[in-house]
Structure 1
């Protein structure tokens, strides 16, 4: 028996939507059709933040409680208004990735069972050089959103001293993402080093609240500055992207004033964010208007190198990088040293 199918009008296009009544978020009852309507409602700010760049699609054939997989290659049969760009990965291999340039393409992605959109920090016009410096403030066990919210204004000041303007969004979960628009003059590794320099400076100012330790056993009850999210092909949920969480929360741009007044990230959902946009507009509307440079942060990186602070570990799937310390969990390294001594 063929599944139910409807046609959704998106501008001057008609996008076919199969199984529109399938429940994607069982806890709150959000259906595939409702998710498509959400995509239409937020299309303008969504594309401003995530469009015209490589994007990975996190897809759920059933619901967010079931199987998931990441789709990077454009699926066969994609319509001609879904574009693609060739990307080079850390391994040196190349393949095309989806690029979303219009509202109908977002709805097509929903038709392909996409829930979470993971955009690159670079544009399709130049995939090698990011246009954003992104910092993920990730609360560790024993900390929560309030701890990240307390740290973020200090990070904003650090970035301001480096000549960068910081913009803010919820992660859609417990964390906060801080973005700085930058000129696309440096490749990903340089931008990662700039993020590490900012994170180390933040850690110096808030040593009991912030950590840049890669290994979880060393982080303690602090907010982790996840510097490896700045790597090539490492992404985070884009602005206005739903998250695959039971209550259909959304990664939502905020103003700094809102953060100071106190916000509940759980309040921003597929059902509430369109009303929020209609009432107060997009806090990130002018994010890209005045890009900065990472020169000062790279000077801090070189200063820290001179003072003995070297490269930090890369994710396990990355090739071994120059100057990188051993990718061995500290407790295991100590055990191995003890056994070697014996």
Structure 2
């Protein structure tokens, strides 16, 4: 007997595409009963905004063959059997290895990725044509245990002021979970390491202004009940859920661009696969003009140099990265102290 399947018509810049969806009634999110077809239709509904935010970038696909309650894996190379309208770009990973990654050029590519059980889309901070030079400075505000989403709101507003002081325009979205993501468009003139240092410089300035609310401590045991500024999300091959990407959380939340004016009143739990299309129709895309006036990370790099001169050095890299110049030991402070006491 033939397997259950349906076909979606997906508008795009080169006309309509017909994308086959197998097992359309498979439930991906059990709690709200959202199916694979629902996800595909969501990506059609938000298609233009989704591509504007995530398109023309290397992208990693977080795939859930059995739904979000099951196992997942990351596809960094394009899945086999891609249609002829799906392209890829070769990128260099921190290890020096090179590999192709998928690029989303039109909504049909995102819908096809959903057909391949993709739930979360993780775009790079750089463009496909120049993957070594980010055109986005990204800062992840991550509330630690004992803090909540509301605790990130004043931190985000102060971070906006910090970035404005160096000529950068901040844009904001919910993470889809408990935090906030602050982006600033920049001219693609610097390597990832430079942009990481720019993020650290901004994070340290923010921490100086809000020491009781903000931390740049990499080790969890040192963070306390504060908002952690995750500087390592600015590294090469480090990504966060893209704008308008669903999240693999029980209520099918979506990482949603918002305006600064509404930040203090929004409830991120209300931004879901079911609700965001109507929000987009009613309010438009809050990030539509993001890249109209990119800025320069140079002033933040001057702050980085200033901090180096004041004795603030490099911060730890993720554990899978090669050892980096000037990096402190990759051992949590409590373990280091025990070793010293022996």
> What is the TM-score with the length of structure 2 in the denominator?
0.98
Q: Helix, strand or coil: the match of 1:39?
A: helix
Q: Distance in 2 between matches of 1:115 and 1:2?
A: 26
Q: Does 2:186 align with 1:182?
A: yes
- What residue number does 2:5 align with? 5
For residue 81 of structure 2, the aligned residue among 57, 77, 82 is 77
Determine the C-alpha separation between the residues in 2 that align with 1:186 and 1:175. Answer: 27
Tell me the C-alpha RMSD between the 2 structures.
0.6
Alignment of 1:238-249 (within 5 A): 238-249=242-253
What whole-Å deviation, never above 9, does each CA across 1:200-229 have from its counterpart, x for those lacking one? 000000000000000000000000000000
Residue 322 of structure 1: aligned partner? 325
1:159 and 2:158 matched: no
Q: How far did 1:3 drift?
A: 2.8
- How many positions carry a matched residue from both structures? 338
Of 299, 314, 331 in structure 2, the residue corresponding to residue 311 of structure 1 is: 314
2:289 to 263, 270, 286: 286
Map of 1:56-135 to 2, 5 A cutoff? 56-135=60-139
Gaps of 5+ in 2: none
Q: Structure 1: how far apart are the matches of 2:6 and 2:286?
A: 34
Deviations 1:176-212 (Å, cap 9, x if unpaired)?
A: 0000000000010000000000000000000000000
Query: Aligned match of 1:274 in 274, 277, 288?
Result: 277
Determine the C-alpha separation between the residues in 2 that align with 1:174 and 1:162. 28
Match of 2:19 in 1: 15
Query: How far apart are residue 2 of structure 1 and its match?
Result: 4.6
Quote how far apart the aligned CAs of 1:82 are.
Answer: 1.0
CA distance in 1, matches of 2:78, 2:330: 33
Asked if residue 34 in structure 1 is aligned to residue 56 in structure 2, the reply is: no
Structure 1 unpaired stretches of 5+: none
Tell me by how many angstroms 1:13 deviates: 1.2
Structure 1 CA distance for aligned equivalents of residues 54 and 60 of structure 2? 11
Once residues 214 and 291 of structure 1 are traced to their aligned partners in structure 2, the CA distance between those partners, rounded to angstroms, is 29
* Structure 1: 4+ residue segments shifted above 3 A: none
